[in-house]
Structure 1
Amino acid sequence: MKRIDIPILKQLPYPVLIVASLTLGMAPFSPQPHLIEKLLLLKSWMLVKPLDIFDLVLHATPIILLLLKFFCEGIPRKT
């Protein structure tokens, strides 16, 4: 299977994406992370406000980038 090459993802190191995913993706930590809250709103078809949609995209972006990098480049290996 041919791998997809996305140049901008090569410039983003895994540790930065992991830290961003954990901090921005799970912020605020209590009572419930925004990402979980927005996904529940999306599941119940109540995600209609533009601010809520922006918030979902904002908090999900680092996780999406991390998954894209992982699937495009594969597991990083020490050489």
Structure 2
Amino acid sequence: MRDLLDKIPLFTLVLIALTLGLAPFTPEPHVWQKLKMLAAGDLVRPIDIFDLAMHGLPWLVLAAKLVLSRPRSV
């Protein structure tokens, strides 16, 4: 998994997270809407769960790349 993340440029992941992760941009990003639904306990329909996964996955992959690419302290 780490090898795969190392092969993907950081710029590409940022671009994917900003476009797919925040689409649609108006009136509010889907990921934000789904996170609010999750916090309220309203995220029950399969399409909403799929939407959260689709729009949230780019952010999780970007976070994983950033965490795994930081230098290790001794």
* TM-score when normalising by structure 2: 0.90
Query: Which of 14, 17, 38 in structure 2 is aligned with 1:18?
Result: 14
The structure 1 segments of at least 4 consecutive aligned residues displaced by more than 6 Å after TM superposition are none
* TM-score when normalising by structure 1: 0.84
Give identity over the alignment, percent: 39
Q: Partners in 1 of 2:59 and 2:8 — Cα distance?
A: 13
State the superposition RMSD in angstroms: 1.3
- Which residue in the other structure is 1:58 paired with? 54
* Number of residue-to-residue matches in the alignment: 71
Query: Which of 55, 67, 71 in structure 2 is aligned with 1:71?
Result: 67
Could you tell me how far 1:68 is from its partner in structure 2?
0.2
Query: Which of 33, 36, 53 in structure 1 is aligned with 2:32?
Result: 36
- Letter of the structure 1 residue corresponding to residue 11 of structure 2: P
